[in-house]
């Protein structure tokens, strides 16, 4: 065994262990890679194997850009089945902003403004989404969050850099989760205007999962910068874009992301749009109405 796992490490139920023999030269190369990257053996071997079999780990796959969303470009660009080829975990939205998208354990869910949740078929076209293959680099148990700010501070503590992307998965029983869900709007209605008509939900004592992404500020032209969390209950009947939450004894898993794949729509809507405006101000008001701002 090359590396002692830290005490907070627990085996992921979706992980398998392998034992194999490799040549001395490869062993040395692997050891030097571990030393250079400061990463775990699990991380390095998964990444390298994933690359050779066409499954990239620690890669963010994004459809369209946040600037396009802010400008009201909500036409379908990519099918759900293609999205799932690139990731099993993430968030996004639907054509005409019809609800909030949650991608969890390889399934795509739509949370609608009526509060209903349904699994989405593979042939549906979607306008915007961000997914990754979630494989935790770290996991901590017994996490307590008094509010959304405490959640983001706990996640900050798991990030080793302000310049990489991160995915966060939080599981457990929540005393409170406040979500919002977008309502369908006509094409061309800006995200800021659309956000004023959203539906709001309060869930109490509910078991479920937070699906979160963190993006650096420099990426604000194409992805929502900072934290962005969606919620899905364990019974897959409730969810939405998270505005606030409170919970104790949660499990927090984090995974760093250093590769990006942005798939730009080839719709006439996208090709002809003026995307020169800085979307950040509108994104902050549309996506982060939780207080205090973070
Ligand atoms: Zn959202």
| Residues 2-32 pLDDT 10s | 444 444 444 455 567 889 999 999 999 999 9
- pLDDT at residue 207, as a whole number: 97
The DSSP 8-state label assigned to residue 99 in this structure reads: S
Cα 115 to ligand 1 centre (Å)? 15
Who surrounds ion ligand 1 at CB < 5 A?
A: 241
Which pLDDT tens digit goes with each residue over 67-104? 888 888 888 889 999 999 999 999 999 999 999 999 99
- pLDDT at residue 288, as a whole number: 66
Computed over every residue of the chain, the mean pLDDT equals 87
Cα 17 to ligand 1 centre (Å)? 35
Q: Hey, CA dihedral for 158, 162, 166, 170, is it positive or negative?
A: positive
The answer to whether residues 182 and 100 touch, using CB atoms and an 8 Å cutoff, is yes
Cα 90 to ligand 1 centre (Å)? 10
Cα 139 to ligand 1 centre (Å)? 24
- pLDDT at residue 1, as a whole number: 34
Residue 118 pLDDT exceeds 70: yes
The DSSP bridge partners found for residue 173 are 207
Task: Judge residue 235's burial from the number of C-beta atoms within 10 Å of its C-beta, 0-12 exposed, 13-18 middle, 19 or more buried.
Answer: exposed
The percentage of the chain sitting over the pLDDT mark of 70, rounded to a whole number, equals 92
Cα 228 to ligand 1 centre (Å)? 6
Residue 53's CB is within 10 A of a number of other CB atoms, namely: 7
As a whole number of angstroms, the distance between CA 47 and CA 102 comes to 24
Residue labelled with tokens 């034992």: 19
Cα 197 to ligand 1 centre (Å)? 15
Residue 54 pLDDT exceeds 80: no
Please state the rounded mean pLDDT for residues 219-226. Answer: 87
- Of 41 and 88, the one with more pLDDT: 88
- pLDDT at residue 122, as a whole number: 95
Cα 56 to ligand 1 centre (Å)? 24
Cα 36 to ligand 1 centre (Å)? 36
The answer to whether residues 250 and 171 touch, using CB atoms and an 8 Å cutoff, is yes
Cα 182 to ligand 1 centre (Å)? 9
The CA-to-CA distance between both ends of the chain, in Å, stands at 41
Cα 143 to ligand 1 centre (Å)? 23
The pTM for the full model equals 0.83
As a whole number of angstroms, the distance between CA 157 and CA 150 comes to 11
Least confident of 62-71, 163-172, 225-234: 62-71
Q: Which of 90, 181, 166, 163 is nearest to 128 (CA)?
A: 90
- pLDDT at residue 284, as a whole number: 72
Which pLDDT tens digit goes with each residue over 243-262? 999 999 899 999 999 999 99
Cα 239 to ligand 1 centre (Å)? 11
The DSSP bridge partners found for residue 165 are 257
Q: Which of 24, 111, 92, 68 is nearest to 272 (CA)?
A: 68
- pLDDT at residue 74, as a whole number: 85
Helices (H), the chain: 24-37, 41-52, 66-70, 80-86, 148-156, 191-195, 268-272, 280-287
């Amino acid at each position: 065994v090359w590396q002692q796992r830290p005490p907070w490490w627990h085996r992921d139920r979706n992980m398998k262990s392998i034992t194999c023999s490799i040549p001395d030269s490869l062993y040395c190369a692997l050891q030097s890679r571990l030393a250079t990257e400061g990463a775990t053996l699990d991380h390095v071997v998964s990444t390298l194997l994933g690359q050779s079999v066409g499954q990239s780990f620690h890669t963010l796959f994004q459809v369209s850009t946040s600037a396009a969303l802010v400008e009201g470009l909500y036409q379908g660009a990519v099918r759900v089945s293609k999205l799932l080829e690139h990731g099993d975990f993430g968030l996004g939205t639907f054509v005409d902003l019809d609800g909030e998208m949650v991608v969890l354990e390889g399934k795509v869910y739509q949370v609608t403004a009526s509060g209903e949740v349904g699994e989405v078929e593979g042939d549906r076209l979607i306008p915007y989404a961000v997914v990754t293959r979630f494989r935790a680099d770290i996991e901590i148990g017994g996490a307590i969050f008094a509010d959304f700010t405490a959640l983001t501070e706990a996640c900050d503590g798991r990030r080793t850099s302000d310049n990489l992307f991160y995915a966060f998965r939080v599981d457990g029983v929540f005393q409170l989760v406040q979500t919002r869900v977008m309502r369908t709007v006509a094409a061309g209605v800006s995200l800021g205007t659309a956000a004023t008509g959203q539906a709001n939900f309060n869930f109490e004592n509910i078991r479920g999962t937070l699906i979160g992404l963190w993006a650096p500020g420099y990426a604000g032209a194409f992805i929502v910068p900072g934290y962005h969390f969606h919620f899905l209950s364990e019974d897959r009947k409730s969810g939405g874009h998270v505005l606030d939450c409170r919970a104790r004894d949660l499990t927090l898993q984090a995974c760093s992301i250093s590769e990006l794949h942005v798939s730009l729509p080839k719709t006439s809507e996208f090709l002809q749009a003026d995307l020169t405006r800085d979307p950040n101000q509108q994104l902050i008001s549309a996506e982060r109405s939780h207080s205090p701002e973070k």
